[in-house]
Amino acid sequence: MERIQLQDNKRDLAVLVGLRSPVLREDSTDEESLEELSALVETAGGQVVGSILQSRDKPDPHSFIGEGKVEEVKTMVTLEGATLVIFDNELSPSQIRVLTELLGVQVIDRSGLILDIFAQRAKTKEGCLQVELAQYQYLLPRLIGMWTHLERQAGTSGKGPIGSKGPGETQLETDRRHIHRKIDKLKEELEEVRRVRSTQRQRRMKNEIPVVAIVGYTNAGKSTLLNAITGADIPANNRLFDTLDTTTRLLTVSDTLDVVISDTVGFIRKLPHQLVEAFKATLEELEYADLLLHVIDLSNPQWAQQAQVVDSLIRELKADHIPCLRVYNKCDLAFPGALPREEGSVCISAKTGEGIDRLLRAVDQKLDKGTRRVTLHLPYDKAGLLDGLYREAKVESVEYEQTITVVAVCPPKVLGQIKPYVEGWQEEKEDWE
pLDDT tens-place string over residues 87-135 = 999 888 888 889 999 999 999 899 888 888 888 877 777 778 888 888 8
pLDDT tens, residue by residue, 340-388: 777 778 999 988 889 999 999 899 888 877 677 788 888 888 888 888 8
Q: Which residues contact 342 (CB under 8 A, 6 or more apart)?
A: 326
Query: Count of CB atoms within 10 A of residue 333's CB?
Result: 12
Confidence band for 425, pLDDT divided at 50, 70 and 90: low
The three-state secondary structure class of 68 is helix
Q: Give CA–CA dist 110/29, Å, rounded.
A: 11
Evaluated on CA atoms 174, 7, 44, 38, the torsion sign reads: negative
Beta bridge partner(s), residue 354: 349
Nearest alpha carbon to residue 285 among 196, 173, 369: 196
Q: Give CA–CA dist 336/310, Å, rounded.
A: 24
Q: What pairing do the DSSP bridges indicate for beta strands 257-263 and 247-254?
A: antiparallel
Nearest alpha carbon to residue 59 among 24, 29, 85, 86: 24
Using CB atoms within 10 Å of the CB of residue 353, give its burial: 0 to 12 exposed, 13 to 18 middle, 19+ buried. exposed
Q: Give CA–CA dist 10/45, Å, rounded.
A: 6
Give the pLDDT score at 165.
47
Confidence band for 152, pLDDT divided at 50, 70 and 90: very low
Tell me which of 425 and 52 has the higher pLDDT.
Answer: 52
The three-state secondary structure class of 413 is helix
Q: Give CA–CA dist 59/87, Å, rounded.
A: 13
pLDDT tens, residue by residue, 269-326: 887 777 777 676 667 667 778 899 999 998 888 888 899 989 988 888 888 888 899 9
CB 87 within 8 A of CB 64: yes
Q: Give CA–CA dist 111/89, Å, rounded.
A: 8
Q: Mean pLDDT across the stretch 258-272?
A: 81
Beta bridge partner(s), residue 46: 12
Nearest alpha carbon to residue 115 among 103, 99, 130, 100: 130
Q: Give CA–CA dist 115/275, Å, rounded.
A: 8
What does DSSP assign to residue 389? H
The three-state secondary structure class of 84 is strand
* Cα angle for residues 271, 274, 279 (degrees, 5° grid): 85
The beta strand positions in 6-113, using DSSP E, are 12-20, 46-55, 84-87, 106-109
- Average per-residue pLDDT for the chain: 79
pTM over 0.85: no
Length of the chain: 433
pLDDT for residue 153 is more than 70: no
Pick the range with the lowest mean pLDDT from 2-11, 303-312, 318-327, 402-411: 2-11
Nearest alpha carbon to residue 246 among 294, 273, 286: 286
Give the pLDDT score at 88.
92
Give the pLDDT score at 150.
43
Q: What pairing do the DSSP bridges indicate for beta strands 12-20 and 46-55?
A: parallel
Q: Give CA–CA dist 100/97, Å, rounded.
A: 5
- In b/e form, how buried is each residue of 105-124, taking b as 16+ CB within 10 angstroms? bbbbbbbbbbbbbbbbbbee
Amino acid type, 250: L
DSSP 245-298: S-EEEEEEEETTEEEEEEE-PPB-TT--HHHHHHTHHHHGGGGG-SEEEEEEET
Give the pLDDT score at 392.
77
pLDDT tens, residue by residue, 44-55: 888 999 999 999
Amino acid type, 317: L
